[in-house]
Structure 1
């Protein structure tokens, strides 16, 4: 009898341990993290966008996003086997065909009042991104994060009940941190820092906005970028249930 109880205890601990480590709330979500530029304002190569793409990929995977349903690419052309802009969207669409529960689309780049720099020659305007996301993600829960100057121009067009939209700046403001000596754009760095403790996307947005404001104020940067967040009605209810993997359970943390 003792051996039987002991065996059950071991089995129970094993089952509980597996359950605790197993499913993420983002299982079945497709995701894309794209560094869409590689230059500073003078056209010189910099590493900030690629650094952000690399480390945001790791951060979101640790938070619960499936590496097998994630595409993580840089659009810089000065590397072996460069990825073209259209190919990055095609790969995201393919991932979304396999993983149909939700979408995360994150782009870090330069921006203008017209749109985001998206590769060597293209500009990704709101009127182009809106149908792309509609085609790829449909009405599934979708989080869009756009880290670039003037990225607030996308907010109104992307608003939907099933979407959360985060941008690094107001529609009429620059963001900061794209100099040659920057490790990351400031917004991306604040997302990375906030991902360490934020329990969900709503908390991530609040922490990131506060982080950006504090850094800009400390460095006397004006006018403030004022990151924007829009959360649709359906997502207001859903996001608190989509919790990131607890910090202590994050693989590789």
Structure 2
């Protein structure tokens, strides 16, 4: 967080400036952690809602410690990995806290991964939103919290057996990056190379990665590999649609999570369904096509299909917000 400047006052100008700066700093922190900063109005996902990637503030140390403690607590309550069986670990990242839509999708993804996709409670969500610093706290989504979460998940996985399913939803911007914004606290970015480095450093081998944002196809070159499946909501040069205060789910999030993964079939079938649904809706509403993308590493394809074949799914999970 940037330290605000202060105006001089009567008396000792140096002391007055320091005193006023301290009070402004304290007020900003209180507003951020109380969730009282008004959310910015946003329309459909556009090219750069949060400004250039270089204009970033740093999350306060106190917030970093809080997020790590919340992550560690959630990790400690996950069911243990089962030797000899493939276990799924699911991580959601909701990037832009100025809109409810990203929080909605991340929270639903956590529940869906357990109810329909075999995670059995091995789930975690990093959510930028004023509610995350309210009475029911969640760890915020920053590069540090993402790395801490991935490292903790990796420590609980068998790297030769288990699969990570990561779902990131936010605004996307050019050059390719996801917005990580907590109102009143920080304005950061997550690039494809950042995400690849965090996964590599954690030692997570089998990766199913879903990136739902404008221009998210730009994440594929850095994340592709034989042990990776990468799904994106749009081509590297196209916008995706459905964010803003008027919707409860993005078009791609609704098609993939709420509809696709509640149907019979596996993840690849759900993506094919989502492609069709998004294209149909874009044509109906007169938008340029977003062209959702997929990379399928052949080594992980075989592992995923074998695991899905023995998966016992629960009934479809209703989305808890009006669509």
The normalised TM-score by structure 2 is 0.63
Question: What CA distance in whole angstroms lies between the structure 2 residues aligned with 1:157 and 1:190?
Answer: 25
Equivalent of residue 196 in structure 2, options 110, 113, 130: 130
Deviation readout 1:141-187 (Å, 9 max, x if unpaired): 21000000000111011110000000000000000001211111111
Larger Rg, first or second structure (1 or 2): 2
Number of residues paired by the alignment?
221
Shift of 1:216: 1.1
Shift of 1:118: 2.0
Name the counterpart of 1:83.
139
Determine if contact 2:164/2:204 at 8 Å carries over to the other structure: no
- 1:63-82 equivalence runs, <5 A: 63-77=116-130, 79-80=133-134, 81=137
Matched, 1:168 2:233: yes
> 1:242 is paired with a residue of what secondary structure?
helix
CA RMSD of superposed structures (Å): 2.4
Shift of 1:99: 2.6
Deviation readout 1:26-69 (Å, 9 max, x if unpaired): 85222201211122xxxxxx211111112122222112333432
Structure 2 alignment gaps of length 5 or more: 1-81, 319-323
Structure 1 alignment gaps of length 5 or more: 1-22, 40-45
Determine if contact 1:198/1:207 at 8 Å carries over to the other structure: no
Question: What CA distance in whole angstroms lies between the structure 1 residues aligned with 2:154 and 2:239?
Answer: 31
Determine if contact 2:262/2:317 at 8 Å carries over to the other structure: no
The verdict on how the C-alpha distance between 1:220 and 1:62 changes in structure 2, with shifts beyond 3 A counting, is same
Question: What CA distance in whole angstroms lies between the structure 2 residues aligned with 1:67 and 1:184?
Answer: 24
Matched, 1:96 2:154: yes
Equivalent of residue 113 in structure 1, options 170, 174, 191: 174
- 1:183-222 equivalence runs, <5 A: 183-191=248-256, 192-221=258-287
Determine if contact 2:118/2:312 at 8 Å carries over to the other structure: no
The normalised TM-score by structure 1 is 0.79
Determine if contact 1:151/1:168 at 8 Å carries over to the other structure: yes
Deviation readout 1:97-123 (Å, 9 max, x if unpaired): 113311111100000122001233110
Shift of 1:134: 1.4
